[in-house]
Amino acid sequence: MARLSARGLWLVALAALSACTAPAQPRPVTPPAPAPPAGPVKAESPPVPAPERTAPTRPAHLWPFTRWQEVDYVSVDDLAKHYGLKTAWARLGLERTLSDAHGVRFTFETRRRDCYFDGVRVFLGTPVEFHLGELWVSKLDVIKTIDPIFRPEDHRALLPAAPPKLIVIDAGHGGADPGKQNLRLKLNEKDLTLDVVLRLKKLLEMRGYAVQLTRSDDTKLAPDQRTDLERRANTANVAGADLFLSVHFNAVEARDAARVSGSETYVLTPQYQLSSTDNNGDSLTKTSFPGNRQDAANVVLGYHLHHSLLAGLKTSDRGFKRGRLRVLCFPTCPAALIEAAYLSNDTEAARLGTAEFRQQIAEAIANGVQAYSTTLAGLRPAPTPAK
């Protein structure tokens, strides 16, 4: 069998990339192709850049690790030692907590892909393991998720040099694409996302940010979904944005609608990791996309957004998650996708039908952006006053 060229391998890999913004299994798509802008895009969108060969992975700290089942693991005890935290078994051999004077900071549980940091549910790429009397977390999860959240100052070299100034906000769906729906309450995702984004724009501008929208009315950016999603991501690239946010609402099948509610926040899955809805990996697992150059910033941004959503909305914590979603793969600035609530849940959808709740969503997102900006500002020394 003839070998594929490097371009051929890329085309095969990209064919598996999901064109959906919802956390579903990937659907086959074709590679991005340049297309004329539509809707609010004012400049010619260049072709989407090809994936990077390798994303930056060098940790600020050389973690001691043990290789087991072809995965490098860091012990939870070594995490605690490095961070100066006290460890305790909440359930012997099953659940371990790491605490300081402020209380429990981390909770890890055997065979779970989610952990808790300061009470916020954070998804990892690999399940936590119990081995040799200890709990172990994959080294890649430590480098790409746990350490940037807990010690962003150790990743200063990989974070933006300054807080964001220009933010591009994407109201998911639009035009002929209604997105998720609650037919009983006559609610369409496309209308709700636009309403929230217009509110969010005002709030961010009041805080001094410049804001550009991918759409400001009920339009779709392209007839087919692939090109539509590419143009949303490209809007941020063409504008030279410092931040890209895509706002959505979720839904599940009818049999689960009554029991599933809450908020989720997504950022791009790091290279070599599994996405939060993926248990096996695929042809894209080893691929690095342009968005992976912002892995450290993405995790800091995503955590602050998710923390703010939970605090502001009092919704169920569906988790801070990872996904190789097209609108997250190709922005060259830090990017996040927010699933603020579930339209399939009648109780939550009824809240979404009120202007008050949509304003609360916009305020929660704005507060998350501000928390992210404050974190970045705190990592740089204050300028020396002129004499």
Domains contained in the chain, number: 2
Residue 196, in any domain of the structure: yes
Question: Taking 60 as the threshold, does the pLDDT of residue 47 lie above it?
Answer: no
Place 384 in a pLDDT band, splitting at 50, 70 and 90: low
Place 380 in a pLDDT band, splitting at 50, 70 and 90: confident
Residues 6+ apart with CB under 8 A from 284: 13, 14, 16, 17, 26, 324
Question: Taking 60 as the threshold, does the pLDDT of residue 30 lie above it?
Answer: no
Amino acid at 39: G
Residue 127, in any domain of the structure: yes
What average pLDDT score do residues 96-110 get? 97
Residues 142 and 165 in one domain: no
Residues 245 and 327 in one domain: yes
> What pTM does this model have?
0.84
Residue 40, in any domain of the structure: no
Please give the mean pLDDT across all residues of the chain.
Answer: 87
Over residues 132-166, the pLDDT tens digits come to: 999 999 999 999 999 999 999 999 999 999 999 99
What average pLDDT score do residues 105-126 get? 97
Q: Write out the E strands in the chain.
A: 66-68, 71-75, 86-91, 95-100, 103-109, 114-117, 120-123, 129-131, 134-138, 166-171, 181-182, 187-188, 210-213, 243-250, 263-268, 317-323, 335-342
What average pLDDT score do residues 336-350 get? 98
Question: Taking 80 as the threshold, does the pLDDT of residue 256 lie above it?
Answer: yes
Residue 60, in any domain of the structure: no
Q: Tokens for 72?
A: 């490098």
Question: Taking 60 as the threshold, does the pLDDT of residue 42 lie above it?
Answer: no
For residue 372, give the CATH number of its domain. 3.40.630.40
Lowest mean pLDDT among 29-33, 173-177, 189-193, 231-235: 29-33
Residues 145 and 243 in one domain: no
Question: DSSP assignment, residue 332?
Answer: S
Question: DSSP assignment, residue 145?
Answer: I
Residues 85 and 172 in one domain: no
Q: Tokens for 339?
A: 């699933």
Sign of the dihedral through C-alpha 371, 372, 373, 376: positive
Residues 124 and 175 in one domain: no
The rounded distance, in Å, linking the Cα atoms of 334 and 220 is 23
Could you tell me if 59 and 144 are in contact, meaning their C-beta atoms sit under 8 angstroms apart?
A: no
Residues 205 and 336 in one domain: yes
Question: Taking 50 as the threshold, does the pLDDT of residue 13 lie above it?
Answer: no
Residues 193 and 300 in one domain: yes
What average pLDDT score do residues 216-228 get? 94
Residues 244 and 279 in one domain: yes
Residue with tokens 């095969």: 12
Residue 23, in any domain of the structure: no
Residues 127 and 170 in one domain: no
Residues 202 and 283 in one domain: yes
Question: Taking 60 as the threshold, does the pLDDT of residue 76 lie above it?
Answer: yes
* 3-state SS class at 29: coil
Could you tell me if 125 and 273 are in contact, meaning their C-beta atoms sit under 8 angstroms apart?
A: yes
Amino acid at 49: P
Residues 141 and 165 in one domain: no
Q: Which of 89, 121, 150 is the last residue of a domain?
A: 150
Q: Which of 131, 150, 169 is the last residue of a domain?
A: 150
Residues 300 and 316 in one domain: yes
Domain of 120 in residue numbering reads as 66-150
Count of Cβ atoms closer than 10 Å to residue 383 Cβ: 6
Q: Which of 150, 181, 206 is the last residue of a domain?
A: 150
For residue 110, give the CATH number of its domain. 3.30.457.10
What average pLDDT score do residues 323-332 get? 96
